[in-house]
Structure 1
Amino acid sequence: MDEATDPFADFLVTLEGFWVSALSFISGVITPGWRQNQVLILIVLAIVAWLLHGSTGNLLQRWVRSRDGWEKWQLRMIVQIKRQLGLIWFAALAWGVYSVMQNITWPSRSYLIGLAATLAAVWVGIAFATRLVRNRPLRRIVTWALWIYATLYLLNVSDDVAAFLDRIALAVGDFRLSLLTLITALVVIGVLMTLARLASQATASTIRRNDEISPSMQVLAVKGVQLALYGFAFFMGVKAVGIDLTGLAVLSGAIGVGLGFGLQKVVSNLVSGVIILLDKSIKPGDVISLGDTFGWIQTLGARYASVVTRDGKEYLIPNEDLITGQVVNWSHSNDFVRLDIYFGTAYSDDPHQVRKLAIEAASGVDRVLSFKPPVCHIVGFGDSSVDYILRFWIKDPTGGLTNIRGHVYLALWDAFQEHNISIPFPQREVLMLEDSKLSVSNKGAQAE
């Protein structure tokens, strides 16, 4: 194979060129002259910027603490400024020195200082621009990638590095995938994904503000828009870098069959989630009971529903369980809920008075509906008491069921205490037969 067409030989030639350039720069720095002087000036500026970072950072922190009522985005911006304060000071000082040296000496004698000032300013801009990326690890990757690219571009070596990365490639038949193509694809897809996220957030906020759309349809519309935008961004990013996906059709089909069997439960939950959103049987804000879990739907996800209970626990219930299981939706068609409580009074108390007092006590409790008045009925004659059932209605199950029952019980207690109505408890009497051994031994003990 000819050396001119050998990728490995080209790779070595490129590395040799980088090495020669690096040695030339180092030689110019260690040799007395204006290049060395510029490097020393930059070192001094870096030390001064580091000192200013510490002092002004403390002043900025004290100033922020003396202010009240700041928004979260303002506090985040201050935190970002404090983090980049050293770089900001270095850029400002370098630009100042560069401007002075441009007027008092030859432009070539301040070239490195101007380059460092430009790099510092670009790095600061990148650090603030990448705040749009919410995911912290991804934001760090994007920040470093943009810093490296900006540095190579300003040093006029981006083309050489691009050619070097393009030579590192994997070729199988007509298919060739270079490191440059892979990096370009990741960058383009990342940018398009970020734009898709911003567009989906704007669309989601618009959909949620529309009161004419039900909560379940709002969730379905938001999920559909997100899926469409992210899918479009991915395929456009892949096509933009020239990767042909038609050759992967058979492979993707085989992988799809394997994933279909392996992810059967996941797919079932996804389909169940779509069905729940379409039939509107469960929507965010509904109060449900599923087994021993009682709470309200906070969010409906693609795979599960988030149910928050009164004690602050958040249960992630798979969508399939909501479709196949028996779910009590307390607020499906309306918010009216009837609650029953049971109690008993002594046989000596007038049942007509007991029923009247129970209804009045329940009617005086907040959250008990007056247009659906409480009712009280006798349900049986027990061993120790006359048993009653008290039924009343509420329309805000999200406020809790146990607490309203407790308030009604307390109102019954106060009413019964005021009117001398007793609540009996089981009592037992022990009778000893005359001829039993226990009776004889007891009489003997008393005779002694």
Structure 2
Amino acid sequence: MNGEESLLQTISSYLDQGRDLAMGWATSPAAWSQFALLIVSWGAAAFATRKIVPRIEAWVRPRTEGAGLFAALLRFALRFVPMVLPLLAYGFTAVGEAFTRQVFGSGAVIAFGKRLFLFFAARLFVAHVLTDPFLRLLGRYVLIPVAALNALGLLGPVSDWLESLTVEMGNITFSVMALIRGLIAGSLLFWLGSWSNRQSADYIKAQEELRPATRELAAKAAEVVIFGAAFLLLLNIMGIDLTTIALLGGALGVGIGLGLQQIAANFISGIILLIEGQTTVGDYVELDGGETGTIVKMTARACILETFDGRWIVVPNEHFITTRVVNYSDQGSANRYEAPFSVSYETDIDRVPAIIERAVADLPFVLTAPDGPDCELRAFGESSVDFAVEYWVNGIDDGRNKYQSQVLFAIWRALKAEGIEMPYPRRVVEMRTQKG
């Protein structure tokens, strides 16, 4: 109750001061002259805006469809056009304030007008310049309220009041103002860090002369550096002594030792994978558990495999270090497959290899190096002679390419064209009847 009464008394005191100030302005010739200067400044700014803005737009707009950094800067500059009017009014008012202070010895009214024009500029800045949703949200709920408090002359008292309130977290004490300042600065720093990380990652991944593993490692290193620098800068802004990081580091070490072992192991394994480069994005792999897929993303904790049917499998990095992993691809290397088939025992089997090798070699995706198609006799089955043709292709038969399906079709057509029968199981059934 005492806190509420104190707050109500403070608000009442400010209202009384505002009423007294308004009455003083209403009866003061100096205040009226300052009001007149504000109106003249706004009118002069409006007149200048009508003359300047069309020229600015005519100079900028013809280049807005161009590409490149300069065109992007021109398009960005075009967003500031709506702010020309309040900023010009602010500048003209500043000149008038210097005049009134020399003549009348005061300039409270014109100073209020300056702050009001600045508030209008802040609103237009949020509405027209900020396009990122996060920055616009921050401008709407931070920049505009701060500009409103500044216009009313309450920014200093509110800041002092927030500075007097404290929050205790163990042995560390924060003022509410420092906490708010840290939240705002942290939001901006980590947004800037995310933007910088995206730009640096796009630039690094565009360097085709580097190995894929090297690009991934450089992108991760840039990410660690950017966000590490943002974190240290945030601590400095909040006024936290960096020596307290030693305590935080000790606690983090205990946490890793007790509960974060797997996370640390996966993180270190990810670094090893990127350095060695034996497994990288784009490789088709088979894990020890039988999972197969193409690596589409490598993070600090896990690799993402995409199967041929579009499913994503998240595999911890540690599995690539501690278990057997079969890598079927190395940036598009050739792979060997085989297609089994059978013929009947009535077939002249000496003709079969040449027929099948010729038919498979005619397929456009079958390679001649490191070896052409090779048809081999595998076994004498119960009701058929079993063969298999081995062939090389440049890629993975992962369900998208369907190499083996086309090879089997070619084998079927070749055998049919030569009149060779592909047998099916035959059984002799003997029926016995008992004589009565």
CA contact (8 A) 1:10 1:167 kept: no
Which residue in 2 is equivalent to 1:234? 231
Q: Which amino acid aligns with 1:190?
A: S
Distance 1:391 1:21, change over 3 A: farther
Which residue in 2 is equivalent to 1:376? 375
Q: CA deviation at 1:162?
A: 0.8
Distance 1:162 1:279, change over 3 A: same
Q: Determine whether 1:208 maps to 2:209.
A: no
Q: Determine whether 1:413 maps to 2:425.
A: no
CA contact (8 A) 2:336 2:390 kept: yes
Which residue in 2 is equivalent to 1:65? none
Distance 1:376 1:251, change over 3 A: closer
Counterparts of 1:115-194 in structure 2, within 5 Å, are: 119-132=119-132, 140-141=137-138, 143-170=140-167, 176-194=173-191
Which residue in 2 is equivalent to 1:321? 319
CA contact (8 A) 1:343 1:388 kept: yes
Q: CA deviation at 1:95?
A: 10
Distance in 2, matches of 1:238 and 1:211, equals 38
Distance 1:154 1:275, change over 3 A: same
CA contact (8 A) 2:384 2:423 kept: yes
Q: CA deviation at 1:96?
A: 13
Q: Determine whether 1:390 maps to 2:392.
A: no
Q: CA deviation at 1:280?
A: 1.0
Distance in 2, matches of 1:405 and 1:70, equals 49
Q: CA deviation at 1:145?
A: 1.6
| Corresponding residue SS for 2:351 | helix
Q: CA deviation at 1:320?
A: 1.5
CA contact (8 A) 1:380 1:388 kept: yes
Q: CA deviation at 1:186?
A: 2.1
User: Which sections of structure 1, spanning at least 5 residues, go unmatched?
Assistant: 1-6, 29-33, 35-68, 72-83, 99-106, 441-448
Q: Which amino acid aligns with 2:253?
A: G
Distance in 1, matches of 2:163 and 2:350, equals 94
- Bigger drift between 269-278 and 398-407 goes to 398-407
Which residue in 2 is equivalent to 1:403? 402
Which residue in 2 is equivalent to 1:224? 221
Distance 1:433 1:124, change over 3 A: same
Q: CA deviation at 1:296?
A: 1.1
Distance 1:198 1:434, change over 3 A: closer
Distance in 2, matches of 1:24 and 1:386, equals 110
CA contact (8 A) 1:346 1:386 kept: yes
Distance in 1, matches of 2:286 and 2:19, equals 73
Match of 2:337 among 319, 339, 343: 339
Q: Which amino acid aligns with 1:392?
A: Y
Aligned residues: 383
Q: CA deviation at 1:358?
A: 1.3
Distance in 1, matches of 2:430 and 2:310, equals 53
Q: CA deviation at 1:384?
A: 1.4
Match of 2:265 among 268, 283, 287: 268
CA-to-aligned-CA distance 1:16-63 (integer Å, 9 cap, x gap): 5445467779999xxxxx9xxxxxxxxxxxxxxxxxxxxxxxxxxxxx
CA contact (8 A) 2:115 2:150 kept: no
Distance in 1, matches of 2:329 and 2:292, equals 13
Distance 1:97 1:242, change over 3 A: closer
| Corresponding residue SS for 1:246 | helix
Distance in 2, matches of 1:433 and 1:203, equals 84
Match of 1:364 among 352, 362, 365: 362
Q: What TM-score, normalized by structure 1, do the two folds share?
A: 0.70
Distance in 1, matches of 2:420 and 2:22, equals 100
CA-to-aligned-CA distance 1:135-189 (integer Å, 9 cap, x gap): x568634542222223223333221211111111136899541111111122223
- Bigger drift between 140-149 and 160-169 goes to 140-149
| Corresponding residue SS for 1:256 | helix
- Bigger drift between 110-119 and 299-308 goes to 110-119
CA contact (8 A) 1:94 1:113 kept: no
Which residue in 2 is equivalent to 1:62? none
Distance in 2, matches of 1:397 and 1:223, equals 28
User: Which sections of structure 2, spanning at least 5 residues, go unmatched?
Assistant: 25-31, 33-64, 68-78, 91-106
CA contact (8 A) 1:306 1:317 kept: yes
Q: CA deviation at 1:268?
A: 1.5
| Corresponding residue SS for 1:426 | coil
